[in-house]
């Protein structure tokens, strides 16, 4: 019909004429009179869009006049600020589709509605200045990296004065000099440009608003246990104490810097399969490896000495509750881009021992590891935040009440924290989750592994005894001089190493040998010839070969010596000297206390392993009556032996990409 030609003059898509796709209106929110008016307008629009009704029929039935009907049609087919069709929403009585635009800048009128926006549209450079002051943070300003509205108002007035405006001109003619109008404009600016405005509230808010709540979730739904795991580290919200003797021999109790909890959690079942507590102010690659080892190698639960503290009856860890998951390996490892996580030794162990894919994810995007992040929040709220020595979740947290003072009063130490953490994680693994159908993580893992046949990969049994998480390869040249009576030896981190076999094999001088270094105890290194033939364990000379110590400790001692901060006699124990150095500095240095606590825990752990280590070394160290070795002849004999060095066949390939 002729009146439908109005639609031809509008720039609309054919799909916009589909009334069933128009946004609707909830009638219950309208008053009785407004509901009646709205329904009349809606009926008029529906009749107009149908070719079976004339304008006269529409007017008689709905009471909507022709000019109003055409206006309603255009309103319904217009778009809102988000680019969506107004549809039936445009028919709501007293609904304003466009904001008021003032055309007269004169402030002589009593009503000043819209004058601020009109002023900004006339003076574009002031509008740009306000946007820059409000939306730009940290860049180009030595002070006020985030401008407050009151300071933006001062800048706005200075810009108005530079235009030569008098006291009779806007904004100086108003009582508040345009302050309320500016504040309303800034609020609207924040709502219209949320991605930029969020920078005013910190990097965390800006990152979160950019990457969450939009689009569709594209993460796969993981069902199989150990298909994907998430790893992350979290600084525990507790202040702990350490006991030590100061330089005067007096026993002291002082606080540590906050320490780290490293966790690996299974995505499919939410089971925490491994964790490690790092006592340093920042965790290292060795700590990451310790966490990986704890997730794979079945161990005895932490012994509890705190009265009333106990594990769940069925065992709180997967290797206890579901024996089929002992020595289980995962297929994908999700972690952040932390320096320790990307270390070569970590990526090497994940590739060669675990045999998994590595997914570091985008930089600064913890949302890609939601389950481990959520776990840390639950652990804090259900555990650490309940102690008097908690630091709380933020500086203004009311639970934060002199945590250092209370920590010293109650003397909560690392050993107690380890016991508490073990029980908290065990209880978490037994706690029903709503996202798991109110089953506990361990129950889900048991159902899927035992009853549904979703078995993981396992570390081969023949590799379990000799699996090495802390071993790194190195190459060293054999030194020595028969003319000066200097027997063959190698040097590693400033210390000479040898064994009886190496000391009697002078034709190795000048040759390179391969080393496997256990960074957790470098008293002994395992040595091999170039062709893979084993030379056995070589031992550090002097006191270096007696007291257990890590590679990191050796490097710390060497650095302190170079800086002339640590001195000890030739026959003294360097590890004990390092411990005394820590005790002397611990009174005034919180970071040193963390190093001292790490040293004390390591010493305690090694003392508990002494009998087993001595037995292992007695089986592998060369005989005291070893004879000199012709390494060419030895290599032929070892090749004849076949399987003696089968596990070392790819050793040289590793050295091409990895070096200490």
What would the pLDDT profile of 305-324 be if each residue is shown by its tens digit? 999 899 998 888 999 999 99
Q: What is the CA 517 to chain-centroid distance, rounded? A: 30
472 contacts 345 by C-beta, under 8 angstroms = yes
* pLDDT value of residue 142: 61
Contact 420/309 with Cβ under 8 angstroms? yes
Q: Do the Cβ atoms of 207 and 365 come closer than 8 Å?
A: yes
Provide the token pair at 33.
């009179």
Q: What is the pLDDT of residue 222?
A: 87
pLDDT band at 101 (very low <50, low <70, confident <90, very high): low
Tens of pLDDT, residues 374-397? 999 999 999 999 999 999 888 888
Residue 538 to residue 519: CA distance in whole angstroms: 15
Predicted local distance difference test score (pLDDT) of residue 545: 92
Q: What is the pTM of this model?
A: 0.72
Alpha-helix runs per DSSP H in 383-413? 403-410
Residue 113 has pLDDT above 90, yes or no: no
Distance CA 72, CA 77 (A): 9
Judged against a pLDDT cut of 50, whether residue 621 lies above it is answered with no
Q: Which of 381, 386, 388, 384 is closest to 403 using CA atoms?
A: 388
Rounded Cα–Cα distance for residues 232 and 227 (Å):
17
User: Residues 67, 68, 70, 76: what is their CA dihedral angle, to the nearest 10 degrees?
Assistant: 170
Distance between terminal CA atoms of the chain?
Answer: 86
Q: Are 153 and 182 in contact (CB under 8 A)?
A: yes
Q: Which of 36-40, 278-282, 604-608 has the lowest mean pLDDT?
A: 604-608
Mean pLDDT of 638-648: 39
């Amino acid at each position: 019909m002729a009146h439908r030609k109005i639609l031809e003059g509008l720039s609309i898509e054919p799909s916009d004429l589909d009334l069933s796709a128009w946004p609707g209106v909830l009638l219950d929110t309208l008053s009785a009179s407004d509901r009646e008016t709205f329904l009349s307008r809606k009926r008029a629009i529906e009749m107009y869009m149908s070719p079976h009704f004339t304008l006269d029929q529409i007017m008689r039935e709905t009471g909507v006049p022709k000019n109003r009907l055409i206006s309603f049609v255009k309103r319904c087919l217009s778009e809102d600020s988000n680019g969506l069709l107004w549809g039936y929403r445009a028919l709501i009585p007293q609904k304003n589709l466009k904001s008021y635009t003032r055309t007269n800048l004169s402030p002589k009128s009593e009503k000043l509605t819209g004058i601020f926006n009109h002023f900004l549209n006339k003076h574009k450079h002031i509008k740009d200045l306000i946007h820059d002051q409000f939306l730009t943070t940290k860049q180009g300003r030595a002070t006020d990296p985030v401008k407050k509205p009151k300071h933006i108002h001062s800048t706005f007035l200075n810009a108005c004065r530079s235009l030569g405006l008098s006291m009779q001109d806007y904004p100086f003619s108003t009582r508040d000099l345009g302050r309320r109008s500016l504040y309303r404009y800034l609020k609207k600016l924040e709502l219209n440009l949320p991605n930029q405005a969020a920078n005013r509230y910190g990097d965390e808010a800006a990152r979160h608003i950019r990457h969450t709540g939009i689009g569709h979730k594209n993460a796969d739904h993981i069902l199989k246990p150990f298909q994907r795991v998430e790893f992350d580290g979290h600084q525990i919200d507790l202040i702990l104490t350490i006991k030590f003797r100061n330089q005067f021999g007096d026993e002291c109790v002082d606080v540590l810097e906050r320490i780290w909890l490293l966790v690996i959690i299974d995505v499919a079942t939410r089971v925490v399969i491994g964790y490690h507590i790092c006592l340093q102010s920042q965790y290292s690659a060795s700590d990451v490896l310790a966490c990986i080892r704890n997730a794979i190698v079945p161990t005895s639960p932490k012994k509890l000495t705190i009265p009333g503290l106990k594990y769940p009856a069925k065992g709180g860890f997967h290797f206890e509750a579901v024996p089929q998951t002992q020595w289980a390996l995962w297929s994908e490892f999700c972690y952040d881009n932390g320096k320790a996580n990307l270390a070569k030794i970590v990526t090497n162990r994940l590739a060669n021992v675990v045999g998994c894919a590595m997914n570091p994810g985008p930089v600064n995007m913890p949302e890609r590891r939601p389950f481990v992040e959520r776990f840390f929040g639950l652990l804090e709220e259900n555990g650490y935040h309940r102690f008097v020595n908690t630091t709380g979740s933020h500086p203004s947290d009311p639970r934060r009440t002199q945590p250092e003072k209370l920590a010293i009063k109650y003397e909560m130490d690392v050993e107690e924290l380890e016991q508490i953490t073990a029980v908290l994680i065990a209880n978490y693994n037994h706690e029903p989750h709503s996202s798991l159908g109110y089953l506990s993580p361990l129950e889900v893992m048991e159902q899927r592994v035992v009853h549904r046949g979703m078995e993981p990969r396992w570390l081969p049994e023949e590799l379990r005894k000799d699996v090495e998480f802390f071993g790194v390869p190195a190459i060293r040249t054999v030194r020595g001089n028969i003319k000066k009576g200097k027997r063959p030896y190698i040097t590693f981190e400033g210390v000479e190493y040898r064994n009886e076999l190496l000391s009697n094999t002078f034709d190795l001088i000048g040759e390179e040998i391969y080393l496997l270094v256990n960074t957790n105890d470098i008293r002994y290194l395992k040595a091999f010839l170039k062709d893979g033939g084993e030379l056995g364990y070589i031992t550090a000379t002097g006191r270096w070969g007696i007291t257990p110590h890590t590679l990191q400790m050796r490097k710390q001692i060497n650095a302190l010596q170079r800086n002339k901060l640590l001195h000890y006699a030739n026959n003294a124990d360097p590890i004990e000297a390092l411990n005394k150095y820590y005790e002397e500095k611990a009174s005034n240095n919180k970071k040193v206390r963390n190093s001292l606590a790490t040293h004390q825990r390591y010493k305690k752990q090694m003392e508990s392993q002494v009998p087993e280590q001595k037995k292992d070394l007695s089986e592998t160290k060369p005989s005291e009556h070893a004879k000199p070795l012709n390494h060419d002849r030895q290599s032929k004999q070892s090749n004849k032996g076949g399987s003696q060095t089968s596990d070392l066949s790819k050793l040289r390939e590793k050295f091409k990409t990895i070096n200490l």
